[in-house]
Amino acid sequence: MQKFEVTILGCSSATPTSKRNPSAQLINIADRYFLVDCGEGTQMQLRRYKIKFQRIGHIFISHMHGDHYYGLMGLLSSMHLLGRSADLHLYGPPVLKEIIDMQYKHSETRLHYNLIFHPLQQDSADLIFEDEKVTVHTIILNHRIPCTGFLFREKDKPRKISREKITEFKIPYSELNNIKLGGDYVTKDGLTIPNERITGGPMPLFSYAYCSDTCYDEKVIEQVKQVDLLYHEATFMDDMEGRAKETFHSTTKQAALVAVRAKVKKLMIGHYSARYSDLQPMLEEAQSVFSNTVLALEGEKYNIEALN
């Protein structure tokens, strides 16, 4: 079973607190490291939780509010100073490249590695990354400025072959890859052994949706439908619905309502306002609408397979 884990590096909104850092998450899918948002202090959080940040190959920035990208320049610079040579892919609003270029121009810095920038379309969802293991699509959110979420989906995995069947049918090693990909086995005598008699069938595929800053918007529901784990911001409790609407954020109950209507398996709420020191009431309020809800807590590692 390949790894699919989400590590929370920051879960606060707007400003850090003494106990919570701004938004950042590290997603590990089959040992591919994706950093989603990079609030102030993200590189310190990566160190604190013993994550080798040079292994990060792709960084996704949801929007241009500082609590989601103020840690980026420091992280890029540390990668440079520590001798990174591997390419790094950065995805974000088009203006982000302008900001990075300006800072490096005035500091007379030239990175030792290739920083490959991918500007995001901000009016329609798009496939922005794909390899043999995973796809990443954008999710168009409804915030005060253009903002995108990110949808991670595993691609079809090789089937698991029973050792007993390999012995029983005397299957040569050269045929195993074809069988893992779903092919049948034809014996030397011309007898076809159906794939389902040899394998345990296709491995389950998992998905994770990251919905950064957004007000409640039913347009999101279709794209995140039936994902295994949905992260949805819940900046305020329900009694602050007016403030949430004014600032284009969501409440706990609104996040839970998205989870209900999208029929997701599990909901994770985060991006908490600094006004809340105790998060338990926020959890309970969300659970009153969608029971299978958890809190995004810094340092916690969420194994998506285990959550289901």
Enumerate the active-site residues.
67
DSSP 239: G
Q: CA 128, CA 112: separation in Å to the nearest integer?
A: 25
Q: Label residues 33-53 b or e (16+ Cβ within 10 Å = b).
A: bbbbbbbbbbbebbeeeebeb
Asked if 297 and 49 count as a contact pair (C-beta separation under 8 A), the reply is no
Q: CA 274, CA 240: separation in Å to the nearest integer?
A: 13
Tokens of 34: 């994706």
DSSP 121: P
Q: CA 287, CA 274: separation in Å to the nearest integer?
A: 21
In 3D space, the residue among 29, 16, 42 whose CA is nearest the CA of residue 152 turns out to be 29
Q: Where would I find the H helices in 29-114?
A: 42-48, 72-81, 95-107
DSSP labels, 143-202? -SS--EEEEEEEPPPPPPBPHHHHHHTT--GGGHHHHHTT--EE-TTS-EE-HHHHB--P
